[in-house]
A and B are shown apart, each in its own frame.
Chain A
Amino acid sequence: VSTSSDRELARRFARQDDAAFAAREGFDAVIGRERATPRRRQGRWLAAGGAGVAVLAAAVAAVAVRERGPHVRATATSRAVAAPATAATGTTDVRIVAADPAAAARVPVTGATPLEEGIVRNALALLGGPSPIPAVQFKDTGTGRDLVVRDVAVGNGADAPRWLALRFVQVVVARLRDARERVGWVTDLESGQPGGPIEGMDAPPPPVETLVQAVRAATHRGVRLHADVYPIGAVVLRARLDEATFLAGDVVAHTLTAALDRFPGVALAGSIETPDGTSLGNFGHAWNVGGGGDGGRVARDAPPLRGRTRLDFTIAHSGLNGTATATRRLRLDCQTPSASSGVADVAGACTALMQRRYDLFSYGLTEHSCAPSGGDAITIRGLLGGLPVRRDDDPCYVGDVIGRIETVLGIPPGS
């Protein structure tokens, strides 16, 4: 590769620089709060007494574990909380996962000091049983301590993999910090490769009862919500939408998590499903670590809906620079085919849209931000089987939905 080619690429990439990338604040402004109280987290959990938090109690117990062993008290089994009064037609049921010291005791913990092992086993117990974490290892590197948590199983029915393990790591790191031990590096949860530093938690997780109340507050019309609440401060939500709510497309992750987002110590994972249980996607977060994404869908035939189907489609294609190159407007009227326009096979399109609606009308659950690289967009308004449909999808969400709908409508994709 010639030097001139190298310089030419450097020159062209330089055109992608922009004054907007310059720092807006000085280092002191960004780090200032940290710098002012450089060890502000030390012992904060232990200083947060009076909260009556099970996890806090476990942390205190863990410090004393050398002499007395694990102190987590558990009910024999997980318990279901009676479904509360529902809001409109939404329902919510909650299962509180019981701490399970016996399951925690079966997890191999190697290389740990007695203090570390106590903290680990108490945190493991708060995940319930069977443990989603098969093994924990501490390594002394000479200059610090490594925590290795690898080959993590998908936790307890949650569709968002490894989030529960991440919460476990955060709790362990926080408790070690409270005990004046720092774990400098946590090995990558999946591959075993070195990962980044994982922070402990600033605040203890809220009490289980508070989490249950917050889950109940997420009750939403047209949504059958199930929640698993873990005493480690983690919540798994699974939401099944009814037909009208799915087609309206207005229940997203934030709809369900807003009440829980008020509590900074909560780790959250969830999924939203179509009426037949097809996953629209997963979402979730854990302390200071974002997450979210749309899961894979499995197309299945959906049952027919009785009622009028009349849909207006606006499909816009754009060039690389974002300039619209073509905009199509089509109408599909299944009861009055002559009122349709731009659709070659009205009957075929009506059948396909009805049968494959869980796939074709899937939508994104989390807010994304697209690069300003142009792309395509589709807007759908009208009725499907008598139920209102509203979609405003662009490639940020489900990239190939436009192409699939174009195929259904008989348009060469991208034309």
Chain B
Amino acid sequence: MAARAVEVGLERLYRERYRVLCRLACAVTGDLERAHEAVQEGFTRAWRARDGFRGDGSLEGWVWRIVLRCALDARGDAVDTPVDAATAVALPFPERDPLLAAAVAALSPQRRLVVFLRYYADLETPRIAEVLGIARGTVAATLSQAQAELRAALTQTEEVGS
């Protein structure tokens, strides 16, 4: 990928995807300030390393991985903590929907992260697979199981609460 194309692409991603990147960074760090720092640091690292982007995958997937790495760093995770499906995330505003917060907290870490990437980061299955470095089929299956689990938990909770 030409260097200029990467630069233009990074600027476009910053303009168009900052908000969702920041959302997920906040779900990882649990702190708004650290989330902003992680996203900005992620773009700074990506810019510095832009010559190393070889275009094997999408630029957006590459940026997502870097930002998630920065969010883990900002959270204080060990430097060798992998950016993978076990990355812990939580709703930033659980008080806005306590039932959903409880339901997603009950998911396994892998299902939870896939759900967050799908619904909170607005990523489609292929992109989630790219970000997490897993097969698309695995993402689809995980997402399907998580949806079923969430639907059951939310239905049950709301029935009990009504």
Chain A positions near chain B (C-beta within 8 angstroms): 1, 5-6, 9-10, 12-13, 15-18, 20-25, 27, 30-31, 34-35, 41, 141, 143-144, 160-163, 166, 182-185, 188-191, 193-194, 196-197, 199, 284, 286, 288-293, 319-322, 366-374
User: Is the C-beta of B22 less than 8 angstroms from some C-beta in chain A?
Assistant: yes
Residues of chain B within 8 A of A41, CB atoms compared: 48
Query: Inside 8 A of A284's CB, which chain B residues have their CB?
Result: 79
Q: For chains A and B in complex, what number of residue pairs have CB atoms within 8 angstroms?
A: 177
B92 and A292 form a contact (CB under 8 A): no
* B40 in contact with A30 (CB, 8 Å): yes
Chain A at the B interface: SS class: loop
B35 at the interface (CB under 8 A from A): yes
A373 CA to B27 CA, complexed, in Å: 11
Q: Of A30, A182, A185, which is within 8 A of B43 by CB?
A: A30
A189 contacts across to B, CB distance below 8 A: 80
Q: Evaluate contact between A373 and B90: CB separation under 8 angstroms.
A: yes
Q: Which 8 pairs from chain A and chain B are nearest by CB?
A: A184-B52, A371-B30, A197-B49, A290-B73, A369-B31, A321-B95, A13-B119, A21-B22
Could you tell me if A10 and B119 are in contact, using CB atoms closer than 8 angstroms? Answer: yes
CA distance A23 to B16 in the complex (A): 10
Q: Does B97 contact A (CB under 8 A)?
A: yes
Task: Mark interface residues in B19-30 (1 if CB within 8 Å of A CB, else 0).
Answer: 110110010011
| B54 CB, min distance to chain A CBs, angstroms | 4
Shortest Cβ distance from B51 into A: residue = A182
Chain A residues with Cβ below 8 Å from B80 are 161-162, 166, 188-190
Q: Known: A290-B74, A290-B79, A293-B76. Is A184-B44 also a contact (CB below 8 A)?
A: no
Which listed residue (B14, B52, B76) contacts A182, Cβ 8 A? B52
- Which residues of B lie under 8 Å from residue A5 when comparing CB positions? 147, 151
Known pairs A16-B93, A292-B78; list 8 more (Cβ under 8 Å): A9-B119, A21-B20, A30-B40, A163-B79, A290-B77, A291-B78, A371-B91, A373-B30
